[in-house]
Amino acid sequence: MPSISLRIPEEIEQQLNQLADSTGRTKSWIANQAIQDYLTKELWQINEIKTAITQADAGTFASEKEVKDTFTKWGIDAN
């Protein structure tokens, strides 16, 4: 498995140590899990944005009425 080295603030190291002690997991496992969770979330968001842009460019994103209805639902004047 590849490895990386990074600098982290002291506060993060303390939190990492506390979590490792509390859970019985290694600091490496916790850091790896945190990176995996972050990447999963960020990649999902980027892919959703790309899909929405493609739909908008194709004119299949939302009709003008759907957009106005959504604004109205949230109390925003769409006119």
Average pLDDT, whole number, for the chain?
94
Structural domain includes residue 25: no
pLDDT in tens, 30-58: 999 999 999 999 999 999 999 999 998 99
Cα angle value 70/74/79 (rounded, 5°): 65
Total domains, the chain: 1
Structural domain includes residue 6: no
Structural domain includes residue 24: no
Structural domain includes residue 21: no
Which structural domain range is residue 48 located in? Answer: 34-79
**Of 10, 13, 16, residue with least CA distance to 33:** 16
Alpha helices in the chain (DSSP H): 10-23, 27-58, 64-73
How long a stretch of residues is the chain? 79
